[in-house]
Chains A and B, each alone.
Chain A
């Protein structure tokens, strides 16, 4: 394509001035017609709605070349595009965009039942030339500079749409972290949420790491993640390996004095991490969690990354708060689950599973291995007790909220987040106990072993 590219003439695709399309039959008879709007598909293609263009369609079958005149509605500069017909689409995102256009037009005259898009014809642009503007005409006194499209903006827009369509917390988390990778190129990310007491963060999901690291905790104000969360400000760090070398030296010095690090589950981190960015996820002026991205490049994150991740984190925080509110007020919570069978013998198909619960911090060990602690640990313990005592497998969030043994705060209990955390931790550790969501505010415990419970006060 010459010097001009499709993004350079973006205003021409707004539909403000009809375009002109010329095609020709195989035997050289031209056909020229006005069309309401051309759509830019990508940097090399345009799409035209195929509504009343039977002759055009026949021409393209015999001769795929076409000529399209487009006009800038502000400057009235005119551009001639040389096109080659590629394909016709009758479904998919391009078709949907053009269909929305047609439907918007049809609804104005209440013709939506009869005036429908038949197909979207996609053309490759092989050349763009500008007709020389005539000096008899004048440019408008102010030519607004339109915002230029960018991959980042497109990625953020697509991700915002995906987050907006996510119906529950599990999907919100996975959609966001996967979208950050696929749409915006952030390969390694962790999402941590603020706990009920507002003093610690816990990892609820990660992407691009060997282990998911769910359940890892960070105290507010501690480390880079905790500091960013406490200040509710983004934090960008490069050259982490150098910093780590320095930190290791300090740690060795402390260890020589008998002071060692804690034994908490570490937050997931890529090998050889060099750069990290931490952005707060805020909703209604309050911290919901933090989003962390990492890279092996020495200075991977700049101001634009900070802006992009702050937007995504903000959308994420709102989505999480929305889902939490919906779960708390969900109508499904009133629907009782299947009644428990008191005579049921809770024996799973697997072997015996030793579950040890430490009431002091709510930690749970499975066959001697640490699994989880805190609220999520107490939830698991409560569920397993009900399972062993009554054979119950179906539960509701509401009954958990009424369970005083969980020690949930009365306001903002984050129960849904804790359940997701528990579910992910069980999956990650491949424990023969699974949680399955069965409806809004309802879930099922699936135990494929015979749990033997032991509580340590």
Chain B
């Protein structure tokens, strides 16, 4: 699956991860995610851990669509995945460890690219996280440029 390959490549570089959710009244919300991994490429299942300091985001996830965008820090190569959550739960120990590893990789990439001190970047980390498992319905190349928004796997414009 194209999304799995793209996402894995981007994640390995220490990508920045951001999440878009929508409340029941249609208000969008931007948050950060701290890890993502492909659970099963064939069934297009993906798991990510995101900030949940404001529990409103957990409400947003219930039965609604969600978007996850990952972007390489240096190249801005980006992918956006859209789908419906199938599980919303407290992060497991493995989730927490993966989030720790990925966030450090992300901070290191930012530090090497832009010079931001890692110890300051850690202020971005959330106090509370939630793990989300989703089925990817659409995937898009989100790299800035004329192709931004084109479908990764024959899907529609993003």
Contact = CB atoms under 8 A, between A and B. Distances in A.
- On chain A, which size bracket covers the interface? 35 or more
A77 B123 contact: yes
Contacts of B88: none
B27 A82 contact: yes
B31 to A, nearest CB: 8
A4 to B, nearest CB: 15
Contact of B158 (A31, A51, A76): A31
A131 B53 contact: yes
B82 A76 contact: no
A32 B19 contact: yes
Interface in A1-54: 16-18, 20-24, 26, 28-34, 36, 51-54
B126 A30 contact: no
Nearest to A143: B120
A131 B119 CA distance: 17
Given A22-B20, A52-B149, A55-B149, A30 B28 contact: yes
Nearest to B31: A69
Interface stretch (B3-11, B38-46, B63-71): B63-71
A71 interface: yes
A138 B119 contact: yes
Contacts of B125: 134, 136-137
22 contacts: A16-B114, A20-B30, A20-B32, A21-B30, A24-B26, A24-B28, A28-B26, A29-B67, A31-B67, A32-B68, A33-B69, A33-B148, A34-B18, A51-B144, A52-B149, A66-B28, A67-B27, A67-B28, A76-B121, A76-B123, A133-B123, A138-B120
Interface in A83-141: 131-134, 136-140
A32 B83 CA distance: 13
A36 B68 CA distance: 18
Interface of A: 16-18, 20-24, 26, 28-34, 36, 51-55, 63, 65-69, 71, 73, 75-78, 80, 82, 131-134, 136-140
Given A22-B20, A34-B16, A131-B53, A69 B32 contact: yes
Contacts, number: 144
B6 to A, nearest CB: 15
A374 B27 CA distance: 73
A65 B26 contact: yes
Contact of A54 (B21, B22, B27, B149): B149
A67 B146 contact: no
A134 B126 contact: yes
Given A17-B114, A134-B123, A140-B117, 8 more contacts: A26-B26, A29-B82, A31-B158, A32-B20, A32-B69, A34-B69, A137-B123, A137-B124
Given A24-B28, A32-B18, A138 B65 contact: no
A22 B29 contact: yes
B112 interface: no
A36 B157 CA distance: 21
Chain B interface size, under 10 / 10 to 19 / 20 to 34 / 35 or more: 35 or more
Interface string B50-83: 0101000000000011111101000010101010
A76 B120 contact: yes
Nearest to B30: A22
B145 interface: yes
B23 to A, nearest CB: 9
Given A33-B69, A137-B122, A52 B26 contact: no
A52 B148 contact: yes
Contacts of A136: 122-123, 125
Given A26-B26, A138-B122, A132 B21 contact: no
The 4 closest A-B CB pairs, nearest first, are A32-B20, A137-B123, A137-B122, A30-B20
Among B30, B69, B127, the one with the most A-chain Cβ atoms within 10 Å of its Cβ is: B30
A131 B57 CA distance: 13
Nearest to A54: B149
B116 interface: yes
A29 B158 CA distance: 10
Of the listed residues B18, B20, B28, B78, the one surrounded by the most CB atoms of chain A closer than 10 A to its CB is B28
B142 interface: yes
A82 B28 CA distance: 9
B116 A76 contact: yes
Contact of B51 (A22, A33, A63, A131): A131
B68 to A, nearest CB: 8
A144 to B, nearest CB: 13
B69 A139 contact: no
A78 B32 CA distance: 11
Contacts of B122: 134, 136-138
